[in-house]
A and B are shown apart, each in its own frame.
Chain A
Amino acid sequence: MTAATETPAAVTAVPRASGAAVIALARFETRRLLLRAPVLAAFAVYIGWTVWRTRTSWDGFPALQDADRATQGGPLLVGLAVLFCANHAVLRSRRHDTDRHLDVLVVQPWRRTVAHLLSVAAAALLTGVCVAGQFTWEALKPGAVGHGSPGELLAGPLSVLVLGTIGVLLARLLTSPFAAPLLIVLLFFLHTVATAPDNGHTVRWLVLTVGENTATTLPSDLLGRPAAWHALYLTGLALTAALLAVLVSGGARLRTVRAGVVGAVALTLVGAVAQGQGVSRETTEARVRASAAPEKEQKCAERDGTTYCVFPEWTVRTDDWAEAVAGVRSLAGGAARDRPLLVRQRIEARYGLDGDAAIAPATRPGQVTVGTAWGGNRVPEFTAAVAGVLVAGTEAKAGAMCDGRMVTVMWMALAGRPDPVADLRRVRLDDSDRGSAIVLSQTEPLRMTAAQTELVRELLRRPEREVAAKVKAEWAGLTAPKVTSDQVAALLGLDEPEEKDECL
């Protein structure tokens, strides 16, 4: 038996396939870019951080108008890695002196630049997939409310695109390998300067991603963030840098490229000017209405004798609030058990997202304030407010309370919680379960003395049913104004507290 070997025939190129060659080259460059150590590391950190954070973010109750903004930070790390590596890739031929060889091949230098730009676009696209995954995860959480903005979601991927194209352009302008690291330092500096608190809206929005100074959640139509214009601005920036890179690498003879540069600059300017206009008059007026007279904007629903009036995006959360209210109400005695309550969602939106402003306690009898956030510490804060209103009659009176009623209020607020002592610590400003402390609330904070804290701790240790029976039986005495902690202890069959009974 003989074996015959055959030399394979040479493969010749498909004539006039420059467009397809650019795509093939872009695939080649994309693979190399995405496998570069800095890019791999940046994606690993970004994805790891995103997964770690999203697992517990907003305690499982995200507002999607906040969740979209939360997608913008991580991509900056990826963008800087892409800037550095894309710059490095473009400089590769010069660094290793292959230009004189490669420049006589069919695919011209400006087409090679296009391929590098497409590899950057692929990295931006991959970032977009990560952003979409992060946002979808938040949106699929059972406690999710609100609406995300496509403009906000685009900011992360577009930042990667802008940084990557700047890396390519930089390599076409400056051949030094130190230019990219220096540019990264310069970008950090510019970002710090531009986002300084004393800078105006126009300057602040010139950076890639614009954070906010508050954790306040507002209805999505009150945010006043020019996200769509900012996305246009970033698109314009990326296109300008990309087309300039093509232009300086030999595409200057192409009329379409020159026209494209003009168009991209115009796009950037339109976006920059439009995003710098500030908050519209309509939004400002809507913010005032939502803050001063929320009842005009809200929908109301009744559950078990309590009316819930909330902004439309939060109606799905009524059941969570109703469950919390029912738990507190079931522990009350006397007339409080059937007292009609109005749970009203209240916000202070007049300052937008520029700062956290306190909400004054409601003075209307039976009205409880609920905020826009839920889950975690917000739940015991809310149940404390409900209990305070059931005991004192109004939020304002509950806030002014400085007597033994606080023992009943705090026990009612916490007794039904899965880990009441832990919640006691969380709801107190100093995170302790001993001594006097401020108790956090949506409006006016409540105050606990050291003696009251001691009694609440003791009550939470005892079986809920046993304590509930005593509370209901002694309701009138326990909720009488000016009742002392010693009297409360006596009514509930507890030892007199040893600690001081002085409000902060």
Chain B
Amino acid sequence: MTPTVSASGLSLRYGGTRALDDVSLRLSTGVTGLLGPNGAGKTTLLRVLATAVPADRGAFTVLGHDPGTSRGRQELRRNLGYLPQTPGFHPDFTAFEFVDYVAILKEHTDRAARHREVRRVLDEAGLGDVRGRRIRKLSGGMRQRVALAAALVGDPAFLVLDEPTVGLDPEQRMRFRELIARAGEGRTVLLSTHQTEDVAMLCHRVVVLAEGTVRFDGTPAELTARAADRVWSSAERDPGAKAGWRTGLGTFRNVGDPPAGADLLEPTLEDGYLLTLDGADTEVTA
């Protein structure tokens, strides 16, 4: 399959900090999850791919368009939907006006067709009933869906979502998962998240980033498999475990190298993720 996004050797420094270090990726249709601890470079990578900041080194293309040239950057942006982390809103705009505004900035110039498209994406985001409501009066979850609707305008081939489910309650998160799953049908979605459940439920592929480098690139099953035979249960926290915590059953779930005869458990994606980060100079946020 021809990849939608092809990146090689992307590197970026902020002052003395290495935010991205030789990142190479190939993304194709479907939802790809981007996991990593705080400061891993996830947002930076997304901003580079969304053409918000240029990389110091390396190159990438989206649908063959090279953002290194002015024309290529414009063509790339025509095929891009971007939902930034904690997106800003114009609170005195209605949901319809805000998405309409974004649609104009995406060069949807025919008024009637644009308004049809705005209604379509708002309906798709489940906001059809509140499209005339001012954004300041919408809940956090609804605002987030407005931002997603704005990203979906024009049916972009490449959708970049930066932690879209942060701060949402479980019901809102479920709604969002539905939306993202639908969005991933027929287009390439790169989803940055801290939520391993989101990745497990939505993604056909997962990339783990730490310290600006790619630590894992494969399917969720492959990431989970990294923890095979490395998760066990014990009555007390095992001091040899990389991570361990008391479960609701009162026993401890340990991740790491189990002692002989340990009571092995079925691994999860999160276990694989934690073990992938092991050794990185990062805090394991389990």
* A interface with B by C-beta (< 8 Å): 7-8, 10-15, 17-18, 20-21, 23-25, 28, 92-93, 96-107, 112
Cα A103 to Cα B74 with chains together (Å): 11
- Asked if A101 and B87 sit within 8 Å, CB to CB, the answer is yes
Chain B, Cβ-Cβ closest to A20 = B109
Segment with Cβ contacts to A, from B100-108, B233-241, B245-253, B261-269: B100-108
- Contact, CB under 8 Å: A107 / B78: no
Contact partners of B51 in chain A: CB under 8 A: 104
Given A10-B120, A13-B154, A106-B74, verify A100-B84 contact (CB < 8 Å): yes
Structural contact, A96 and B89, CB atoms closer than 8 A: yes
List chain A residues, Cβ under 8 A from B77: 104-106
Query: Do A14 and B109 form a contact, CB below 8 Å, given A104-B82, A106-B77?
Result: yes
Are the CB atoms of B88 and A96 closer together than 8 Å? yes
A25 touches B105 (CB 8 A): yes
7 tightest A-B contacts by CB?
Answer: A10-B155, A97-B88, A20-B109, A105-B105, A11-B117, A98-B88, A13-B107
B42 at the binding interface (Cβ < 8 Å): no
- Contact check, A14 vs B107: say whether CB atoms are below 8 A apart: yes
Partner of B113, one of A11, A18, A105: A11
CA A105 – CA B100 in complex, angstroms?
13
Q: For residue B98, which residue of chain A has the nearest CB? A: A98
Given contacts A98-B87, A101-B84, contact A17 B107 (CB under 8 A): yes
Contacts of B102 in A (CB 8 A): 102, 105
Closest-by-CB residue of B relative to A92 is B90
Contact of B110 with A by CB under 8 A: yes
- B13 near A: Cβ within 8 Å? no
Q: Is the CB of B52 within 8 A of A100?
A: yes
Q: What residues of A have a CB within 8 angstroms of the CB of B91 in the complex?
A: 96
B116→A13 contact, CB < 8 A: no
Interface residues of B (CB under 8 A from A): 47, 50-52, 74, 77-78, 80, 82, 84, 87-91, 100-102, 104-111, 113-114, 116-117, 119-120, 124, 147, 150, 154-155
Contacts of A10 in B (CB 8 A): 117, 120, 154-155
B116 touches A101 (CB 8 A): no
Tell me if A106 and B120 are in contact (CB < 8 A). Answer: no
- Cβ–Cβ contact B155 & A28, under 8 A: no
Residues of B within 8 A of A104 (CB): 50-52, 77, 80, 82
B154 / chain A contacts, CB cutoff of 8 Å? 10-13
Q: How far is the CA of A99 from the CA of B89 in the complex (A)?
A: 10
In angstroms, Cα B52 to Cα A14, docked, is 23
A112 to B106, CA, bound (A): 12
A225 to B111, CA, bound (A): 46
14 residue pairs bridging A and B, Cβ less than 8 Å apart: A10-B120, A10-B155, A13-B107, A13-B109, A24-B109, A98-B88, A99-B88, A100-B52, A101-B87, A101-B88, A103-B52, A104-B82, A105-B105, A106-B106
Q: B91 CB to closest chain A CB, in angstroms?
A: 7
Chain B residues with Cβ below 8 Å from A101 are 82, 84, 87-88, 147, 150
Contact A8 B90 (CB under 8 A): no
A interface SS class: loop
Measured CB to CB, the closest approach of chain B to A122, in angstroms, equals 16
Cross-chain contact B101 with A28 (CB below 8 angstroms):
yes
A199 to chain B, nearest CB (A): 43
- Which residues on the A side are within 8 Å of B106 (C-beta)? 13, 105-107
Q: How far is the CA of A20 from the CA of B47 in the complex (A)?
A: 27
Alpha-carbon distance A104/B113, docked complex (angstroms): 22
How distant is the Cα of A446 from the Cα of B107 in the complex, in angstroms?
75
Measured between alpha carbons, how far is A17 from B117 in the docked complex, in Å? 17
Q: Are A21 and B104 in touch, CB under 8 angstroms? A: yes
Most chain B CB neighbours (cut-off 10 Å) among A12, A15, A20, A99: A12
Cβ-closest chain A residue relative to B47: A100
Closest to B115 in A: A11
Task: Report the bound CA distance from A10 to B114 in whole Å.
Answer: 10
Give the residues in chain B near A103, CB-CB below 8 Å: 52
**Of the candidates A14, A98, A107, which one forms a contact with B89 in the assembled complex, judged by CB atoms under 8 Å apart?**
A98
Q: Which A residues are CB-close (under 8 A) to B100? A: 28
A102 with B105: CB separation less than 8 A = yes
- Distance in angstroms from B267 CB to nearest chain A CB is 38
Q: How far is the CA of A105 from the CA of B82 in the complex (A)?
A: 9
Bound complex: CA A32 to CA B84 (Å): 25
Q: List B contacts of A8 (CB < 8 A).
A: 116, 119-120
Docked pose: A68 CA to B113 CA in angstroms: 44
CB pair A21–B107 under 8 Å, yes or no, is yes
Q: Which residues of B contact A25 (CB under 8 A)?
A: 104-105
Question: Which residues from chain B contact A13 at a C-beta distance below 8 Å?
Answer: 78, 106-109, 154
Question: For B155, what are the chain A residues with a Cβ–Cβ distance below 8 Å?
Answer: 10-12
* Chain A residues whose CB sits within 8 angstroms of the CB of B107 once the complex forms: 13-14, 17-18, 20-21, 106-107
Looking at A7, A10, A15, A102, the one whose CB has the most chain B CB atoms below 10 A away is: A10
Residues of B within 8 A of A21 (CB): 104-105, 107-109
- Provide the bound-state CA to CA distance between A43 and B68, in Å: 47
- Distance in angstroms from A28 CB to nearest chain B CB is 6
Query: Which of chain A's residues have a CB closer than 8 A to the CB of B111?
Result: 24
Determine the distance from Cα of A106 to Cα of B82 in the docked complex, in whole angstroms: 12
Q: A104-B50, A104-B82 are in contact. Are A11 and B90 (CB under 8 A)?
A: no
Within the complex, the shortest CB–CB distance from B88 to chain A, in Å, comes to 4
Residues of A near B150 (CB, < 8 A) are 101
Given contacts A104-B77, A105-B77, contact A11 B108 (CB under 8 A): yes
C-alpha gap A106/B89 in the complex (Å): 18
Q: How far is the CA of A20 from the CA of B109 in the complex (A)?
A: 6
Q: Are B109 and A98 in contact (CB under 8 A)?
A: no
Residue of B nearest to A111 (CB): B105
B114→A11 contact, CB < 8 A: yes
Shortest CB-to-CB span from A261 to chain B, Å, is 21
Residues on B with beta carbons closer than 8 Å to the beta carbon of A15: 78
Q: What A residues does B52 contact at CB under 8 A?
A: 100, 103-104
Residues of chain B within 8 A (CB-CB) of A112 are 105
Residue of A with least CB distance to B111: A24
A17, A98, A106: which contacts B90 (Cβ < 8 A)? Answer: A98
Q: Given the complex, which residues of B lie within 8 Å of A28, measured CB to CB? A: 100-101, 104
